Amino acid sequence: MTRTAALPLPARTDVAIVGAGPTGLALAVTLAEAGVDFVLLDRQAEGANTSRAAVVHARTLEVFDELDPSGALSAELIGRGVPVSRFRVRDGARPVASLSFDGLRGRTQHPYALMVPQYETEAVLLARLRALGGDVHRPYEVTGVTQDADGVTLTTAGGETLRAAHAVGADGMRSAVREAAGIPFTGGAYEESFVLADVAMDWVPGPREVSMTFCPVGPTVVAPLPDGRYRVVAAVTEAPAAPDRAFVQQLLDELAPGQATVRDLAWSSRFRIHHRVADRYRAGRLLLAGDAAHVHSPAGGQGMNTGIQDGYALGRALAAGDVDGYEAARRPVALRVVALTDRMTRFSTTRNPALRLARNTALRLLAGIPPLRNRAAAELAELNYR
């Protein structure tokens, strides 16, 4: 996806961006559109080629439209994905509630969730960045970050240095920029491990919905992807390091008997989930965005979306000279997303039959009242975070 020849690192820039995932790319595109000089660095020699995040919500598609008012940027991404208008909740094989995005038609031009692999989202952002004259500097691993009254100096593993007026950590949960800034990352971790897998399978609910199924360990999400594949994200007590096809089949058999036949496994991984938010998004000339600033459960698929919106908001703030306003606007959003996804995760784990009945009854009632259903859909689509 990216050029393998390393671009030479300049001596100076206005904004140094550490991390060229979706957050860093969105920030770079925003700065390029505004005419702000920047350098985007990433430690990997190539961009990611696994799907990881797989949903782009309505608000993020609106950000794409704001970055390119012609609509070409969002249209390119939409053409690579599968629009899905229904989010269905199940308890085992039994439907509990259905949440439709159709009720958002008056609020957004994108009343659906777009199921698309993360590498496609990155490819579309990178192509836009290159069309604007920018690119990613690879592979440059940042090993030192120091700031003074006049700017920030970044040092790479190869001994190169880059001087910038501001440095942004878009470098993930183990952010070198956040560590250098001394900003606490408050929160904790879930006991369960999570399985992430892209599979080809026969799935009875079909490709027109995203399904979240409650089980005592945690939620399992099954969502359609392009080319007839499905994304499976499941909380399990303990997963193997590389879940195979048989493991995913067994998992789905226990969760929803007779609903799934896994024919092929394209990719899988095991990971553990934290729920954390940085105490601050800024320390002097150092700023945080994306997973460097917040991490949470994958329930709802909001992580990458919140990060892209961070990058866009920070780019606009830097271009306007209003970096103080960035934290005030975006940190409350992260707190809200972390709280929502934590409730979704913990809500699914009860083993008490009476509590399960009460939970399912409450969800049916909510889904049956259009104003409440639309409000929940807007929250999931992040339209309330404008």
Q: Is the pLDDT of residue 381 over 70?
A: yes
Nearest partner of 312 among 40, 88, 52, 34, judged by Cα:
34
How high is the pLDDT of residue 51?
59
CB-count exposure of residue 22 (10 Å: 0-12, 13-18, 19+): buried
Model confidence band, residue 91 (pLDDT cutoffs 50, 70, 90):
confident
Q: Which carries the bigger pLDDT value, residue 193 or residue 319?
A: 319
Q: Contact 140/13 with Cβ under 8 angstroms? A: no
Looking only at the bridges linking them, the beta strands covering 86-91 and 82-84 are unpaired
What is the average pLDDT across 379-386?
A: 90
pLDDT of res. 192: 77
Query: How confident is the model at residue 2, as a pLDDT?
Result: 39
Q: Is the pLDDT at 215 greater than 90, yes or no?
A: no
Q: 294 near 337, Cβ under 8 Å?
A: yes
Contact (CB, 8 A) for 15 and 36: yes
What is the chain's length? 386
149-192 pLDDT, tens digit per residue, is 999 999 999 999 999 999 999 999 999 999 999 999 999 988 77
Q: Do 74 and 65 touch, CB atoms closer than 8 A?
A: yes
Runs of H (alpha helix) within 187-295:
245-255
Q: What is the pLDDT of residue 218?
A: 74
Query: What's the pTM?
Result: 0.94
Higher per-residue pLDDT: 240 or 124: 124
- Lowest-confidence pick of 111-115, 291-295, 323-327, 358-362: 358-362
CATH architecture, range 1-191+270-386: 3-Layer(bba) Sandwich (3.50)
**Higher-confidence position of 269 and 344:** 269
Going 333 to 369 to 371 to 60, the CA torsion angle's sign is positive
Higher pLDDT, 167 or 352: 167
Q: What is the pLDDT of residues 117-149, one digit of tens each?
A: 999 999 999 999 999 999 999 999 999 999 999
Domain ranges of the chain: 1-191+270-386, 192-269
Lowest mean pLDDT among 16-20, 21-25, 84-88, 345-349: 345-349
Could you tell me whether strands 220-224 and 286-288 are parallel, antiparallel, or unpaired per DSSP bridges? Answer: unpaired
CATH number at 192-269: 3.30.70.2450
Same fold, 1-191+270-386 and 192-269: no
pLDDT tens-digit readout, 8-33: 999 999 999 999 999 999 999 999 99
Q: What are phi and psi of 157, to 5 degrees?
A: -60, -25
Average pLDDT of the chain?
Answer: 92
Check whether 4 has a pLDDT greater than 60: no
